[in-house]
């Protein structure tokens, strides 16, 4: 898998300019992406950009620059705001609704907007002393007005792992209790305090599927702002295939799949369902499948 270059220019050099958000909101060339309750407006697979004076009450931040150099702001609108006119062909959609329907810059813009909007709305008070905070760095940090500490939008790492047999011919997937037993996917779990990503992978796989890993290789990652995860994707080789068993709690069944079975499932022809096109889980499964397909 090749490394994906960033497609969104975050214009980080503008964040230190005093009152930059005031200046940019007064600039008629600025455009704004409005996020409300984790949703954005979309027309024809592109996020709707509006002029700053079309936005009502909101918390503001700098998102970056569009392909043509236009500066993009984020307006995190409170749920009760209804001041925005919605054209009939515009719909408010969340990341889950949009999976696979937008890509590249729009996808990066969407995920950044939803993640930052979530932090702007949920983290108004200092986690150290509970004091009020003021936004800094064009919406990318907060300073506590009581104790003076600085706080930044957090990202919580989680690992997701595609586990293959020693000969590389079969893939071990699990059916999560939440998926009703028809869908199988890679194993995943959050990194705990003080844990490395490798240790997380080793521990989570053994807990959920009963197998120990003999090799682990980083593939790619995917931000997932619900509320603030970064999914770090690995491929791994199992040590002893015969120990595979579901933990019976989070994972209700584990199964080894042949390449032919995965090919059929990727095509939507059974025997089981696989994760959707926008997911890193599917990307990892594809990465394995295409090794020898």
In the complex, minimum distance from the CB of residue 136 to Zn ion, in angstroms, rounded to a whole number: 14
Complex with Zn ion: residue 144 or 172, whichever CB lies closer: 144
272 binds Zn ion per the rule CB under 5 A: no
On whether the CB atoms of residues 84 and 56 are closer than 8 A, the answer is yes
In the complex, minimum distance from the CB of residue 151 to Zn ion, in angstroms, rounded to a whole number: 8
Complex with Zn ion: residue 126 or 272, whichever CB lies closer: 126
Task: Say how far apart CA 186 and CA 232 lie, in whole Å.
Answer: 12
In the complex, minimum distance from the CB of residue 21 to Zn ion, in angstroms, rounded to a whole number: 23
First-to-last alpha carbon distance for the chain, in angstroms, is 15
In the complex, minimum distance from the CB of residue 126 to Zn ion, in angstroms, rounded to a whole number: 3
CB atoms within 10 A of CB 272: 19
Complex with Zn ion: residue 61 or 126, whichever CB lies closer: 126
Show contacts with Zn ion in window 112-151 (CB under 5 A): 126, 128-129, 131, 144, 146-147
Complex with Zn ion: residue 83 or 147, whichever CB lies closer: 147
Task: Say how far apart CA 89 and CA 17 lie, in whole Å.
Answer: 37
Cα-to-chain-centroid distance, residue 126:
25
Nearest to residue 49, comparing CAs of 65, 78, 58? 65
Q: Can you name the residues that pair with 141 across neighbouring β-strands?
A: 136
Interface pattern 144-183 for Zn ion (x via CB under 5 A): x-xx------------------------------------
Nearest to residue 261, comparing CAs of 236, 234, 285? 285
Complex with Zn ion: residue 125 or 179, whichever CB lies closer: 125
In the complex, minimum distance from the CB of residue 179 to Zn ion, in angstroms, rounded to a whole number: 41
Non-local (6+) Cβ contacts of 287 within 8 A are 1, 162, 219, 235
Binding site for Zn ion (CB under 5 A): 126, 128-129, 131, 144, 146-147
């Amino acid at each position: 898998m090749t490394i994906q270059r960033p497609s969104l220019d975050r214009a980080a050099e503008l964040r230190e300019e005093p009152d930059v958000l005031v200046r940019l909101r007064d600039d008629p060339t600025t455009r704004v992406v409005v996020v409300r309750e984790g949703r954005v407006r979309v027309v024809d697979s592109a996020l709707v950009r509006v002029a700053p004076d079309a936005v009502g009450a909101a918390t503001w931040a700098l998102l970056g620059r569009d392909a043509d150099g236009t500066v993009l702001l984020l307006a995190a609108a409170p749920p009760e705001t209804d001041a925005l006119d919605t054209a009939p062909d515009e719909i408010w959609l969340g990341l889950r609704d949009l999976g696979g329907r937008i890509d590249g810059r729009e996808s990066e813009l969407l995920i950044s907007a939803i993640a930052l909007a979530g932090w702007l709305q949920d983290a108004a008070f200092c986690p150290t002393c509970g004091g009020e905070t003021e936004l800094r760095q064009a919406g990318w940090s907060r300073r506590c007005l009581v104790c003076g500490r600085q706080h930044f939008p957090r990202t919580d790492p989680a690992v997701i792992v595609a586990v293959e047999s020693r000969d590389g011919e079969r893939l071990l997937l699990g059916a999560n209790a939440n998926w009703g037993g028809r869908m199988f996917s890679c194993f995943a779990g959050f990194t705990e305090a003080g844990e490395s990503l490798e240790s997380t992978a080793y521990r989570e796989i053994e807990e959920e599927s009963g197998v120990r890993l003999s090799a682990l290789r980083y593939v790619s990652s995917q931000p997932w702002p619900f509320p603030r995860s970064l999914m770090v994707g690995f491929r791994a080789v199992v040590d002893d295939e015969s120990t595979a068993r579901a933990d019976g709690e989070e994972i209700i069944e584990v199964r080894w799949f042949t390449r032919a079975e995965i090919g059929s499932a990727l095509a939507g022809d059974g025997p089981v369902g696989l994760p959707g096109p926008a997911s890193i889980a599917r990307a990892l499964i594809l990465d394995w499948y295409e090794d020898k397909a």
